[in-house]
Amino acid sequence: MTAKVNSKILPFNATAFRQGEFVEVSEADVLGKWAIFFFYPADFTFVCPTELGDLAEHYEELQKLGVEVYSVSTDTHFTHKAWHDSSDTIGKINYFMLGDQTGTITNNFGVMREGQGLADRATFLVDPEGVIQAMEVTAEGIGRDAEDLLRKVKAAQYVAAHPGEVCPAKWKEGEETLAPSLDLVGKI
């Protein structure tokens, strides 16, 4: 299965580490709010903590926008706790760190590296109905930017709240949008 934009997320159950506790999470917990699924290859690695730390720095702003964050790797929730307790960068994380040692979530989203048991570096933005609105997959050595992800969240939320309008390239909150019409064809 490969997840695609405009497809619904599939059922899952997982244990997460969050704010000093182990908590159960399923797709039912995701519905009703915006969500980011932030897949990464493994705990205790190199690029991953820089990305997760960057995302942690933007978590409060994402929460104000009604967005929950779920980082996902094929490590266990116990490994997430050990990493959280031993790394200053990871110790700042307040969002859910899902353990996906069975690979169910990673396979549901189609980002399992064949034969390796590791997730690709991938991001999925899911709307309150459980439908994927944006996705990005990068190569191993290319880290993601939480600031750009935040921009995409705002654009997706704007488009959802304003049917008939779209956000052009580099759109930022408060800037002009477009209303696709025959009058615009060939004029942009």
48 is catalytic: yes
Render the burial of 118-151: b for 16+ CB within 10 Å, e for the rest.
Answer: bbbbbbbbbbeebebbbbebeeeeeebebeebbb
Catalytic residue among 9, 35, 48, 72: 48
CA separation for the pair 163, 14 (Å, rounded): 34
Beta bridge partners, 43, equal none
CA separation for the pair 49, 47 (Å, rounded): 6
Place of tokens 């935040």: 150
Active-site amino acid positions:
48
